Amino acid sequence: MPNMSKEKVKMKEQDPLLRIKNFDEVTCGYTLEEAMEEAGRCLQCKTRPCVGGCPVSVPIPEFIKEVSEGNIEEAYNIIATENRLPAICGRVCPQESQCEGKCVRGRKGEPVAIGRLERFVADYYMENIKKDVEKPESNNKKVAVVGGGPASLTCAADLAKKGYEVTMYEALHQLGGVLMYGIPEFRLPKGLVQTELKSVTDLGVKVEKNVIVGKSITIDELFEEEGFQAVFVGSGAGLPRFMNIEGENLNGVYSANEFLTRVNLMKAYDFPNSPTPVRIGEKVAVIGGGNVAMDAARTAKRLGAKEVKIVYRRSKEELPARVEEVHHAEEEQIIFDLLKNPVEIIGEDGHVTGMKCIKMELGEPDESGRRRPQPIEGSEEIMDVDIVVVAIGQTPNPLLRDTTDGLDVNKRGCIVVNEDTMETTLENVYAGGDAVTGAATVILAMGAGKKAAKAIDEKLSK
């Protein structure tokens, strides 16, 4: 008899007032007992709508059944057939709009906590069971993967499992992409990311760090000189957008990318133990309403800022960030200053001292279906701030397209692909993730990497 409780088994969290003083993970994860209890809520329905909601098609009821019986190793192996980064996905996927959004238990009450269970299985496996991965036998076919983020990691893992000799080229000094430099420690511990990445590289994926494809080596050379038969491009969307308003180059104005990279990748929160500094003022304004804005705001709070504001031009309903992130931010005393748009950043002696904002009101829906914000004439006022973090989105880095003839991109700079195969306008060059879609989610990137791996395998097996 399934557990018919309407609510998910609660997951422990650090107290908001304590956690804003540290970078430790906010949510504490399930115990084995809690996981088994929650797993009991799954009805094991035949229609399995949850699997359809998962971009990488994890066999969800199957792994949950094993959890309900306490067989965590089996559960892990089932997940790993489709997903080698479950500890990450269980934490950062927007389950509410994917697997859990489709769960039949969600019609009356809360859906099964698929994300928390996936996370539990991965954490428990890594801590208690972890076995060495066997390196598959080589099929002597070489594939290059550009970038070390979620799309590339998934593509590389799937190909390596089939025996391809995969080399991954990463521009930074560490693999992981946004998992390392973007998502903060308190949402996704970096030690855990590294352990999970190792489960990919252990499959025999060769890693070349500090190589910027487009600068250090070109795509043409990967084929002609290095002998690769296919290339997957998962270079992401790492180019920050600015607002192009007066005062944006003042000291104290950061892109969210710079702010988060300093803190996450370079560990500036530990300055001076870590050599990279970050400036943090008394009053911080984060411009934007997505997950990156929430991450930046919550990071600023933890760095000791007294007052942190999210400044967003629409209202709360339109915030693109996950509901859970907004909730966590509110608990951590982040102030939501909504329906406001910055028009100028003001400084003294070259440093930010204020930000002039205009009030907005919502008009008719635009092409994205969201109500279009319109400025209210004459409503400008000056907000007292000393640090501004701009988190209004990223676009793909132009580096690759500028150095690769024949690689078509759309007007937003995203690589154009055949949506069935992820093949670009260049033969045997595939792409996926944010490089194709613009900034999206980890799991969609992984789904794209998976699709590309399948297409590459089919093509090279002919």
Partner 1 sequence: MYKIVAKRKLNDLVELMEIHAPYVARKCEPGQFIILRVDEEGERIPLTIADYDRKKETVTIIYQVVGYSTKKLSLKNEGDSVEDFVGPLGQEAPLHKVKRVLGIGGGVGIAPLYPQLKKMKELGVQVDTILGGRSDEFIILEDEMENISDNVYYATNDGSKGIKGFVTDKLNELIENGEKYDLVIAIGPLIMMKAVCEITKKHDIKTNVSLNPIMIDGTGMCGGCRVTVGGETKFACVDGPDFDGHQVDFDEAMRRQGMYKEEEKDHVCRLGLED
Q: State the residues that interact with partner 1 by CB under 8 A.
A: 171-173, 209-212, 215-217, 238-240, 242, 244, 248-249, 251, 254-255, 257-258, 261-262, 266, 271-272, 274-277, 279, 350, 397-399
Distance, in Å, from the CA atom of 178 to the CA atom of 442, rounded to the nearest integer, reads 9
Provide the residue type at 326 as one letter.
V
Q: Which is nearer to partner 1, 276 or 421 (CB)?
A: 276
Q: Which is nearer to partner 1, 111 or 238 (CB)?
A: 238
| Least Cβ distance, residue 210 to partner 1 (angstroms) | 4
Distance, in Å, from the CA atom of 188 to the CA atom of 145, rounded to the nearest integer, reads 24
Place of tokens 């944010």: 434
| Least Cβ distance, residue 201 to partner 1 (angstroms) | 17
| Least Cβ distance, residue 384 to partner 1 (angstroms) | 21
Q: Which is nearer to partner 1, 80 or 286 (CB)?
A: 286
| Least Cβ distance, residue 242 to partner 1 (angstroms) | 7
Q: Which is nearer to partner 1, 95 or 255 (CB)?
A: 255
| Least Cβ distance, residue 146 to partner 1 (angstroms) | 13
Q: Which is nearer to partner 1, 201 or 257 (CB)?
A: 257
Contact 92, 142 (CB under 8 A): no
Q: Which is nearer to partner 1, 141 or 401 (CB)?
A: 401
Q: Which is nearer to partner 1, 266 or 346 (CB)?
A: 266
| Least Cβ distance, residue 68 to partner 1 (angstroms) | 42
| Least Cβ distance, residue 303 to partner 1 (angstroms) | 13
Q: Which is nearer to partner 1, 212 or 346 (CB)?
A: 212
CA dihedral 151, 154, 157, 163 (to 10 degrees): -80
| Least Cβ distance, residue 407 to partner 1 (angstroms) | 17
